[in-house]
């Protein structure tokens, strides 16, 4: 995928997630099955997940290879990255502590923060060349070192993953 395609996918997937959340009554958004996150917590988890990616895309470019290194392989495709993530989840992978949500009290605030953060990320992608998206890397707590392109693929897919989870457990009967 090219930068514009990734940017469009980010916008579409998070807009779709937020549309599902905004249609849901607050009471339902706070309901969770035992041992599972509520939809509201899933929204908060996405905020906690997108923020560090957005921050990384804000750093001066020269710092990224100094801090995280450079890729020694080509970027995976979107489908390859999704398959890798799903395999990690199937093997028992879960969110690490910094990404575990609390119980959000003000859902509108969470939705605004998520929309704003995704929009900031979308804009900051423009600072990078297609080549830089494939050579600069960031750490992912479950997937290890990812190229910037792969991290963007993950970030775009992550919204769909949680939307599907919510729709599977909270859709009207």
Q: What CATH number does residue 98 fall under? A: 1.20.120.450
Spatial separation of the C-alpha atoms in residues 155 and 120, rounded to whole Å: 13
Check the CA dihedral 8-94-164-45 and report its sign: negative
Strand ranges (DSSP E) for the chain?
Answer: 137-140, 144-147
Q: Which of 11-15, 96-100, 164-168, 169-173 has the lowest mean pLDDT?
A: 169-173
- What rounded mean pLDDT belongs to the chain? 95
Give the confidence band of 35 by pLDDT, cuts at 50, 70, 90. Answer: confident
Please identify which residue in the block is written with the tokens 């997630």.
17
Task: At 100, list the tokens.
Answer: 């575990």
Give the confidence band of 23 by pLDDT, cuts at 50, 70, 90. Answer: very high
Instruction: Give mean pLDDT, residues 133-155.
Output: 97
Domain holding 73, by residue range, is 3-170
Domain count, the chain: 1
pTM: 0.95
Beta strands at 144-147 and 137-140: parallel, antiparallel or unpaired: antiparallel
Give the CA radius of gyration of the chain: 16
User: pLDDT digits over 61-83, tens only?
Assistant: 999 999 999 999 999 999 999 99
């Amino acid at each position: 995928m090219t930068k514009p395609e990734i940017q469009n996918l980010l916008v579409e997937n998070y807009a779709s997630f937020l549309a599902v959340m905004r249609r849901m009554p607050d009471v339902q958004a706070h309901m969770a099955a035992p041992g599972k996150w509520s939809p509201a917590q899933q929204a908060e988890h996405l905020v906690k997940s997108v923020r560090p990616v957005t921050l990384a895309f804000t750093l001066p470019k020269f710092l990224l290879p100094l801090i995280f290194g450079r890729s020694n392989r080509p970027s995976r495709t979107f489908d390859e990255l999704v398959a890798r993530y799903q395999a990690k989840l199937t093997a028992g992978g879960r969110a690490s502590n910094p990404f575990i949500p609390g119980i959000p009290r003000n859902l509108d605030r969470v939705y605004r923060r998520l929309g704003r953060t995704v929009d900031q990320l979308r804009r900051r992608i423009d600072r990078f060349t297609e080549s830089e998206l494939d050579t600069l890397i960031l750490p992912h707590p479950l997937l290890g070192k990812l190229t910037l392109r792969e991290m963007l693929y993950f970030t775009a897919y992550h919204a769909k993953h949680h939307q599907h989870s919510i729709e599977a457990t909270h859709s009207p009967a």
